Amino acid sequence: MLDQCPMPDKTSFIEKINKEMPHYSIKHTVKPGLTGWAQLKCIYDESIRDEKEKLQHDIFFIKHLNLRLYFKTIWLTLKMILTRLR
């Protein structure tokens, strides 16, 4: 359950990002899941700058991962989905 975070990235970004962001590989130490902290806090990644911001949120999520944060992420994701359906 707790090993399913953060979401995977587009492969087109990975090589470029690895060169510009030395800590990028940290986010690959856990399995990807359906949602993550970065998906709740950031816009869709369209640039390296956006990806850097997402990485900061992913690293926060990985470092502080516990049941409370995990369920909070699930709750906020469901809340976001339900409010956009209206």
Q: What is the mean pLDDT of residues 53-66?
A: 86
Whole-angstrom CA distances from 7 to 4, 55, 65 are 8, 11, 15
Model confidence pLDDT, tens digit, residues 12-51: 666 777 777 777 778 777 777 767 888 888 766 677 788 7
List the one residue out of 74, 60, 3 whose CA is nearest residue 32.
3
Number of domains present in the structure of the chain: 1
Q: Is residue 29 part of a domain?
A: no
Q: Is residue 3 part of a domain?
A: no
What is the domain extent for residue 50?
Answer: 36-86
Radius of gyration of the chain from Cα atoms?
A: 13
Map residue 4 onto helix, strand or coil: strand
Q: Is residue 11 part of a domain?
A: no
Q: Is residue 52 part of a domain?
A: yes
Percent of the chain beyond pLDDT 90? 14
Q: Is residue 8 part of a domain?
A: no
Q: Is residue 41 part of a domain?
A: yes
Q: Is residue 64 part of a domain?
A: yes
Q: Is residue 5 part of a domain?
A: no
Question: pTM of the entire structure?
Answer: 0.65
